[in-house]
Chains A and B, each alone.
Chain A
Amino acid sequence: MSQEHATESAMARPPVTQVGAVRWLRENLFSGWLNTTLTLLTIYILYVALPPLLDWVIFNAAISGTDRDNCTYAGACWVFVKVRFWQFMYGFYPEPERWRVNVVFIIGILGVASLLTSRVPTKAKLIVGVCMLTIFPVFAVVMFGGGVFGLEYIETSQWGGLFLTLTVASAAMVGSFPLGMVLAIGRRSKLPVVKTFCVCFIEFFRGVPLITILFMASVMVPLFLPEGLTLDKLARAIIGITIFNSAYMAEVIRGGLQSIPKGQYEAAHALGLSYWQGMGLIILPQALKAVIPGLVNTFIGLFKDTTLIYIIGIFDLLGMVQASFRDTKWLGLAFEGYAFIMLVFWIFCYSMSKYSQYLERKLNTGHKS
């Protein structure tokens, strides 16, 4: 009787498993013939590849000093990146005016951060969000370009480096997301005109390479613009990237819209919500939540695609680094330059990925009803 009772109470708790490093290794790395082989193979590859890589990146690398003579030939020459660093960041933006870029970016980062954290109340977020979408872009353009309020005029051809990459990417993201949303909803519309337009738009821009759109934007569009109207090359490139990515965005969002059960639309209608209220309050929040991984995927793709603007003669981060290779003083340092670009892009993309995972966890409200 007492023994029976003891077993019962033991069953009431989850079984206690033996833990420890050895056990973990056995279960995860050496749990079978195939697993063991793969583990050993991986260890061998790391053993062969890692030491020379670390030697190149860290142990034999040169970082101190300011000119070519400081480079060792056994490892990377980070001196090059160090010397050129601020040009990689700002391009040919005149040094005394760079504070203008910094001010915009600091405000931008504060604004975005307050939208992304959960500590800020919703009302404040709404105000910040509206400001970020309306006043802030105007403010940024005025600060960057100048020519008014006593600010020195700085042509967009002097903008460059990471600053330009981030500007292009943010503008294209902020533009393509709502455009993609509208296209996705339009593609599911019952009105034939709306639907056909959206289908054609999406299928066309998804079907052509971005590089061709950028060429068209830089060369062809000016020819078609009416007399007297000019649009800056950078602006045209941003519009091109925005439109291109909105087509992808639209398809991702449409996938989300399709995953929402009909009952959600019916419940919204039955409560008297209008079509747009139902969309905005019920359908889109759920649809977007369902496709966060796909959206972030598209954002990351967009961010990396901005490097293509280098080909039409705009000096983003990639463009600045590649231009610096041509400096005869620093010939032969392409590896270092590309490694630096990879690191910068990786930091941004990985952060986006991490944030999306956090967002997914936060928005998880239990099972679907």
Chain B
Amino acid sequence: MAEPATQASSHVGDDIIIEMAGVNKWYGDFHVLKNIDLTVYKGERIVICGPSGSGKSTLIRCINRLEEHQRGDIVVDGVTLGNDVRQVDQVRREVGMVFQHFNLFPHLSVLDNLTLAPIWVRKMPKREAEEIAMHYLTRVKIPEQAAKYPGQLSGGQQQRVAIARSLCMNPKIMLFDEPTSALDPEMIKEVLDVMVELAESGMTMLVVTHEMGFANKVADRVIFMDYGEIVEQNVPSEFFSNPKSERTKLFLSQILNH
């Protein structure tokens, strides 16, 4: 079953940043996460793949507690997630998330989307927040769109704004939930390029995606999930050329041959 993480990963340091142990979650009677054990090291880039409905989104949403788990422990950057609202807020300040459908705030300009959280959550002066926002907009290559509203941008541009918005909070961890699957094919690359750059800068990243080219290029570790379990995890070269379980082989054959 699950490979031990130490064998599968060539992590940068030995500092653990996320520790999930025996995590279980149910939606009513439906057992969506089953005994998840996952250790993530600082600076690690992890790609999570698996069939639709296998619990990938639920897994990463538990890390910033958009979903609550019912059994097991999740420790993020030294903070244990539970019912304590202050601890949840503390974790959310350090964890950025990028969604499939961008979820930009349509009533705010791009610049205001970016400065909102730094101003209200980090209590940063407006001037400073705007400088940081422009810095990240430049990094995602759309500084000229700062004054526009999200509804006036293309999907690829919106997703890059969403990435910049998360980065403005200077997070230690970035979560991506299928960031390119709502995009037209010609826009996927512009978003992936930004993500590759981010990975090269040393950001700890957990990415749910079926972009196997991206996984091959930047991932330290690929995790395969099915039916709420981590079925297999390995470094990309091994994962793709030498999958161990039948379910992984089937999944890979399906997505690589379509």
Q: Which residues of A contact B (CB under 8 A)?
A: 261, 263-264, 266-267, 269-274, 277, 281-282, 285-286, 289, 363, 365-369
Contacts of B158 in A (CB 8 A): 369
Tell me if B47 counts as interface (CB < 8 A to partner A).
Answer: no
Q: Interface digits, B100-119 against A, CB 8 Å rule (1 contact, 0 not)?
A: 01111111000000001100
Q: Which residues of B contact A (CB under 8 A)?
A: 64, 66, 89, 92-93, 95-97, 99, 101-107, 116-117, 120-121, 149-152, 158, 165-166, 169
> Is there contact, CB below 8 Å, between B92 and A269?
yes
* Nearest chain B CB to A63 CB, angstrom units: 50
**Could you say which of B89, B103, B121 contacts A263, with CB atoms under 8 Å apart?**
B103
Most central of B105, B152, B165 by chain A CB within 10 Å:
B105
11 residue pairs from A and B, CB less than 8 Å apart: A266-B97, A271-B92, A271-B117, A271-B165, A272-B89, A272-B117, A272-B169, A274-B89, A277-B121, A285-B107, A367-B151
**Could you say which of B95, B96, B103 contacts A264, with CB atoms under 8 Å apart?**
B103
Docked CA distance A277–B165 (Å): 17
Closest residue of chain A to B168 (Cβ to Cβ) is: A271
**Could you say which of B66, B103, B105, B149 contacts A366, with CB atoms under 8 Å apart?**
B149
**Could you say which of A272, A289, A363, A366 contacts B93, with CB atoms under 8 Å apart?**
A272
- By secondary structure, the A interface counts as helix
* Nearest chain B CB to A364 CB, angstrom units: 9
Contacts of A363 in B (CB 8 A): 107
> Is there contact, CB below 8 Å, between B120 and A365?
no
Known A271-B121, A281-B120; contact A266-B99, beta-carbon cutoff 8 A: yes
Known A366-B151, A368-B151, A369-B158; contact A273-B120, beta-carbon cutoff 8 A: yes
Contacts of B97 in A (CB 8 A): 266-267, 270
> Is there contact, CB below 8 Å, between A281 and B116?
yes
Contacts of A271 in B (CB 8 A): 92, 116-117, 121, 165-166, 169
Closest residue of chain B to A282 (Cβ to Cβ) is: B105
> Is there contact, CB below 8 Å, between B150 and A369?
yes
Closest residue of chain B to A268 (Cβ to Cβ) is: B105
**Could you say which of A261, A269, A273, A286 contacts B107, with CB atoms under 8 Å apart?**
A286
Most central of A264, A271, A282 by chain B CB within 10 Å:
A271
> Is there contact, CB below 8 Å, between A263 and B169?
no
List 6 other contacts, CB 8 Å, given A267-B99, A366-B149.
A269-B64, A269-B66, A270-B97, A271-B165, A272-B92, A369-B150
**Could you say which of B101, B105, B120, B169 contacts A277, with CB atoms under 8 Å apart?**
B120
Closest residue of chain B to A285 (Cβ to Cβ) is: B107
Docked CA distance A274–B93 (Å): 11
* Nearest chain A CB to B126 CB, angstrom units: 11
Docked CA distance A369–B109 (Å): 12
* Nearest chain B CB to A285 CB, angstrom units: 5
Contacts of B92 in A (CB 8 A): 269-272
* Nearest chain B CB to A244 CB, angstrom units: 30
10 tightest A-B CB contacts, nearest first? A366-B151, A267-B103, A263-B103, A271-B117, A365-B149, A367-B151, A270-B97, A272-B92, A272-B93, A272-B121
Docked CA distance A266–B98 (Å): 10
* Nearest chain B CB to A368 CB, angstrom units: 6
**Could you say which of A264, A266, A282, A286 contacts B66, with CB atoms under 8 Å apart?**
A266
Known A267-B105, A369-B102; contact A273-B117, beta-carbon cutoff 8 A: yes
Contacts of B103 in A (CB 8 A): 261, 263-264, 266-267, 369
**Could you say which of A273, A286, A366 contacts B121, with CB atoms under 8 Å apart?**
A273
> Is there contact, CB below 8 Å, between A263 and B107?
no
> Is there contact, CB below 8 Å, between B66 and A270?
yes
Docked CA distance A266–B43 (Å): 25
Contacts of A282 in B (CB 8 A): 105
Known A271-B117, A273-B120, A281-B120; contact A289-B99, beta-carbon cutoff 8 A: no
Most central of B92, B99, B107 by chain A CB within 10 Å:
B107
> Is there contact, CB below 8 Å, between A286 and B120?
no
Contacts of A367 in B (CB 8 A): 106, 151
Closest residue of chain A to B151 (Cβ to Cβ) is: A366
Docked CA distance A282–B112 (Å): 11
Contacts of B66 in A (CB 8 A): 266, 269-270
Closest residue of chain B to A270 (Cβ to Cβ) is: B97
Most central of A266, A281, A368, A369 by chain B CB within 10 Å:
A369
Contacts of A366 in B (CB 8 A): 106, 149-152
